[in-house]
């Protein structure tokens, strides 16, 4: 093995020697997509500050990425990220966290920062379950799925997180699954360059919890399920709601230009200085 | 107004970023910061809730900014988890609690010292915090500056624990020339320090803060970590060190953090109080002395870390100690435990919660304990 190192190895914190992900977890694919995007843009991790919340996906940047990383509290990474952006507007601030963290306990910060359209990248790893705590239902768990807290099957409606973020006002929203790793990387590249709130939802497999609970079992079966159910956004546009039932609409759902909050703040400051004189 | 003086104190201390959520009786601080901060190249953000107000200032503090949030008791309840985070990763920040009456929504425009123990124990686990209690608009200005300086020096959240009375009190405030104001800045590692060699956490003499954006590649986690920031969720010895070092960082410096006003020379009865109640206590002691009664006062400005050494020192001189608070006795057990080995300690509650003790009633209380 001596002399051979992975081309992305330079992005990994030197003190880290192993991963904490379960076998078959989608986290590795998403971590690689993020690092490939950084690499392909010719950027360095010093151009970034990473922020994560609590849950399995939060461990993608923390501690693995050799960068400034804030591993914050459950649900709050976007609020912390906003503070970091306020202090370091020239840096790229990227939040990586899960669906429970961002859309359940942290839902308020998600919609309000999408509304602010503040420049940051948010990668939401949607595994449709609480993995780290042992397979509880979340706001993304499909109806009927038996989890440790819905032993008779989930009886709630799930969120479509991307639609929620679009409605709240984000200027870039994409959705992919771990099967479309190359497309995901290309969308992350766009998100990093976006002047605005850039949100990417990634459906990811959790064979240990969701796989077992849903009956999909292993990682390969789960990814095969993603592949079969994925439908490109252009193709989906011509289909009815019934035809889209059980499909995962993938692609870049929104990519628009609109006022970004950091720039608006600079305008506000100029006004304040003018009035003070 | 006390609240406006607090905002001016923050600006004088070098506050660059503040956030909050509207709440009575703290709004005047936020309103003034919203006007004044942008004039000085800073920003005030009104957040979606108090949880994010606390989170956003912690994020900004990690970029090296001096930061503050302002709220009242219900807001502190929402902020508590994030306050614990700030303690755990040693984040300088100032939290102003303009206390209002009673538990839950209570009575928003009445000042009550109801959140005194919450400031110390609001978030989970063993930890220490710093809290300062001003009793006038001038002190709202002065001690807000002190709070920023302590936050920077000890890398910790610092509370300004005031209330609706002081916040809405109108008195003359003298703002010194900028050059006359002492401003402390946190230690940070030298530029271009090798990230692998930075020990940015858990030093009882306060580690340099590896703030973001300087190439320090800081790994910041509030989970149990070592002095390099590396997470350790297995070793109990690592947990023990994490908890103890954080606490000792404050306790080791308790004497230099402690601010008190002593006026008990030759006194047999000493009134111990803090915040606006101290104004009544001082008036009561003055009236008593005029009537020939040997009364004095000890006013705590720093209430956390609890200045037991100052209470002990006083109790060794006094024969009787009377504790006055505008609550049902929140600091009383702490004062009693420090003073009781040396003096007789009693608690003088307000006649009505929210109504500060009347100086003439204080005189009668002094007469009673001397009888």
Mean pLDDT score across all residues of chain A: 96
* Residue B324, strand partner residues: B348
Give me the mean pLDDT over the A153-180 stretch. 97
Q: Select the residue of B55, B213, B228 nearest A68 (Cβ to Cβ).
A: B213
- Chain A / chain B CB contacts < 8 angstroms: 129
CA distance B36 to B93: 19
Q: Select the residue of A62, A88, A109 nearest B63 (Cβ to Cβ).
A: A88
What contacts B24, CB < 8 A, 6 or more positions away? B72, B100, B108, B109
CA distance B43 to A266: 10
* Inter-chain CB proximity B35 and A272 less than 8 Å: yes
Structural domains in chain B? 2-180 (3.40.50.970), 259-370 (3.40.50.920)
pLDDT tens profile A167-213:
999 999 999 999 999 999 999 999 999 999 999 999 999 999 999 98
* Inter-chain CB proximity B63 and A84 less than 8 Å: yes
Give me the mean pLDDT over the A99-128 stretch. 98
* Residue A52, strand partner residues: A71, A96
Beta A172-177 vs A197-203: how paired, if at all?
parallel
Q: Select the residue of A68, A72, A81 nearest B217 (Cβ to Cβ).
A: A68
In this prediction, what percent of chain B has a pLDDT beyond 90? 99
Please list every residue in chain A whose beta carbon sits closer than 8 Å to the beta carbon of residue B83: none
* Residue A120, strand partner residues: A197
Whether the predicted pLDDT of A2 surpasses 90: no
pLDDT tens profile B156-173:
999 999 999 999 999 999
Beta A197-203 vs B219-221: how paired, if at all?
unpaired
- pLDDT for A3: 80
* Inter-chain CB proximity B230 and A63 less than 8 Å: yes
How close, in Å, is residue A109 to chain B by CA atoms? 7
What pLDDT band is residue B356 in, cutting at 50, 70 and 90?
A: very high
Alpha helix segments (H runs only) across chain B:
2-13, 27-39, 50-61, 73-88, 116-121, 137-154, 164-167, 236-251, 254-257, 277-290, 308-315, 332-339, 359-370
pLDDT tens profile B78-108:
999 999 999 999 999 999 999 998 899 999 9
In this prediction, what percent of chain A has a pLDDT beyond 90? 94
Q: Sign of the CA dihedral B38, B43, B45, B51?
A: negative
What pLDDT band is residue B187 in, cutting at 50, 70 and 90?
A: very high
Q: Left, alpha or beta for A49 (phi > 0: left; psi -120 to 50: alpha)?
A: beta
The closest alpha carbon to A248, from A197, A208, A190, A201, belongs to A201
* Inter-chain CB proximity B38 and A66 less than 8 Å: no
* Inter-chain CB proximity B219 and A13 less than 8 Å: yes
What pLDDT band is residue B155 in, cutting at 50, 70 and 90?
A: very high
Sheet (strand B302-304) strand order: B43-46, B17-20, B67-71, B93-99, B157-163, B130-132, B302-304
* Inter-chain CB proximity A86 and B63 less than 8 Å: yes
Whether the predicted pLDDT of A149 surpasses 80: yes
Residue B178 has a CB neighbour count (10 Å cut-off) of 10
CA distance B347 to B333: 9
What contacts B123, CB < 8 A, 6 or more positions away? B80, B81, B83, B84, B87
CA distance A85 to B314: 49
Structural domains in chain A? 9-276 (3.40.50.970)
ipTM of the complex in this document: 0.97
* Residue B160, strand partner residues: B96, B132
Sheet (strand A248-255) strand order: A230-232, A248-255, A172-177, A197-203, A120-126, A92-98, A48-52, A68-71, B219-221
Q: Is the pTM of this model over 0.95?
A: yes
Mutate to test the interface with A, among B212, B214, B224, B227 (most CBs of A within 10 A): B212
* Inter-chain CB proximity A108 and B212 less than 8 Å: no
Beta B269-273 vs B295-300: how paired, if at all?
parallel
Q: Select the residue of B38, B81, B213 nearest A88 (Cβ to Cβ).
A: B213
Alpha-carbon distance values, A38 to A157, B14, B280, B291 (Å): 36, 36, 63, 78
Mean pLDDT score across all residues of chain B: 97
* Inter-chain CB proximity B212 and A109 less than 8 Å: no
First to last CA, chain A: 67
Whether the predicted pLDDT of A1 surpasses 60: no
pLDDT tens profile B18-51:
999 999 999 999 999 999 999 999 999 999 999 9
Q: What residue in B sits closest to A272 (Cα-Cα)?
A: B39
Burial category of B113 from C-beta neighbours within 10 Å (exposed 0-12, middle 13-18, buried 19 and up): buried
Please list every residue in chain B whose beta carbon sits closer than 8 Å to the beta carbon of residue A271: 38
* Inter-chain CB proximity A72 and B222 less than 8 Å: yes
In B272-296, which positions are buried (b, 16+ CB within 10 angstroms) versus exposed (e)?
Answer: bbbbbbbbbbbbbbbbbbeeebbbb
Mutate to test the interface with B, among A83, A89, A92, A113 (most CBs of B within 10 A): A83
CA distance B27 to B234: 44
Q: Select the residue of A73, A268, A273 nearest B82 (Cβ to Cβ).
A: A73
pLDDT tens profile B237-292:
999 999 999 999 999 999 999 999 999 999 999 999 999 999 999 999 999 999 99
CB distance B141 to B9 below 8 Å:
yes
CA A18 centroid distance within chain = 22
Give me the mean pLDDT over the B218-226 stretch. 97
Which residues of B have a CB under 8 Å from any CB of A? 17, 19, 35, 38-39, 41, 43, 45, 47-49, 51-52, 55-65, 67, 81-82, 85, 196, 212-213, 215-223, 228, 230-231
- pLDDT for A217: 87
Residue B247 phi, psi (nearest 5): -70, -45
Whether the predicted pLDDT of A230 surpasses 80: yes
């Amino acid at each position: 093995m001596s002399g051979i190192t992975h081309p992305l190895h330079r992005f990994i914190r030197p003190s880290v020697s192993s991963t904490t992900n379960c076998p078959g977890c989608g986290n590795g694919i998403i971590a690689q997509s993020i690092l490939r995007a950084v690499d392909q843009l010719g950027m360095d991790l010093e151009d970034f500050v990473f922020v994560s919340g609590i849950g399995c996906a939060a461990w993608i940047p923390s501690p693995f990425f050799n960068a400034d990383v804030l591993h914050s509290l459950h649900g709050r990474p976007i609020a912390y990220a906003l503070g970091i952006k306020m202090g370091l507007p020239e840096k790229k601030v990227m939040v990586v966290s899960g669906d429970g963290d961002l859309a359940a306990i942290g839902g308020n910060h998600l919609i309000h920062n999408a509304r602010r359209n503040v420049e940051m990248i948010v990668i939401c790893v949607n595994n449709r379950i609480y993995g780290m705590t042992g397979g509880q239902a979340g706001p993304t768990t499909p109806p009927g799925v038996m989890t440790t807290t819905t032993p008779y099957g989930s009886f709630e409606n799930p969120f479509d997180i991307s639609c929620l973020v679009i409605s709240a006002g984000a200027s870039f929203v994409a959705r992919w699954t771990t099967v479309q790793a190359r497309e995901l990387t290309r969308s992350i590249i766009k998100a990093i360059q976006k002047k605005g709130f850039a949100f990417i939802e990634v459906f990811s497999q959790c064979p240990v919890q969701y796989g077992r609970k849903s009956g999909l079992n292993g990682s390969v079966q789960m990814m095969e399920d993603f592949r079969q159910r994925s439908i490109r956004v252009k193709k989906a546009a011509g289909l009815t709601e019934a035809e889209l039932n059980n499909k995962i609409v993938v692609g870049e759902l929104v990519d628009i230009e609109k006022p970004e909050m950091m720039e608006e703040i600079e305008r506000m400051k100029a006004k304040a200085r003018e009035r003070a004189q | 107004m006390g609240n406006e003086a607090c905002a001016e104190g923050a600006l004088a201390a070098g506050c660059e970023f503040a956030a909050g959520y509207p709440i009575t009786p703290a709004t005047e601080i936020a309103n003034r910061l919203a006007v004044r901060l942008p004039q000085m190249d800073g920003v005030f953000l009104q957040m979606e809730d108090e949880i994010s107000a606390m989170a956003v200032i912690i994020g900004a503090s990690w970029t090296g900014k001096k930061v503050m949030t302002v709220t009242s008791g219900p807001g502190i309840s929402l902020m508590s988890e994030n306050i614990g985070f700030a303690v755990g990763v040693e984040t300088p920040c100032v939290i102003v609690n303009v206390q209002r009456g009673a538990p839950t929504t209570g009575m928003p425009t009445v000042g009550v010292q109801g959140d005194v123990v919450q400031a110390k124990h609001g978030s989970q686990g063993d930890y220490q915090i710093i809290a300062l209690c001003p009793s006038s608009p001038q002190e709202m200005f002065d001690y807000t500056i002190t709070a920023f300086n302590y936050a920077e020096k000890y890398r910790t959240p610092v509370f300004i624990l005031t209330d609706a009375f002081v916040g809405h009190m109108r008195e003359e405030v003298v703002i010194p020339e900028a050059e006359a104001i002492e401003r402390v800045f946190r230690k940070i590692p030298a530029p271009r320090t090798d990230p692998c060699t930075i020990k940015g956490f858990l030093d009882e003499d306060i580690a340099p803060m590896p703030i973001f954006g300087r190439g320090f590649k800081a790994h910041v986690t509030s989970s149990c970590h070592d002095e390099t920031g590396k997470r350790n969720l297995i070793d109990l010895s690592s947990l023990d060190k994490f908890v103890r070092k954080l606490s000792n960082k404050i306790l080791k410096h308790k004497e230099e953090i402690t601010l008190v006003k002593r006026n008990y020379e030759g006194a047999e009865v000493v009134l111990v109080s803090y915040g606006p109640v101290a104004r009544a206590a001082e008036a009561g002691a003055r009236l008593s002395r005029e009537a020939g009664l040997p009364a004095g006062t000890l006013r705590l400005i720093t209430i956390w870390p609890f200045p037991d050494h100052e209470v002990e020192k006083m109790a060794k001189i006094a024969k009787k100690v009377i504790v006055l608070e505008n609550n049902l006795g929140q600091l009383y057990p702490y004062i009693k435990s420090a003073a009781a080995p040396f003096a007789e300690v009693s608690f003088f509650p307000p006649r009505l919660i929210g109504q500060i003790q009347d100086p003439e009633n204080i005189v009668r209380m002094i007469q009673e304990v001397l009888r």
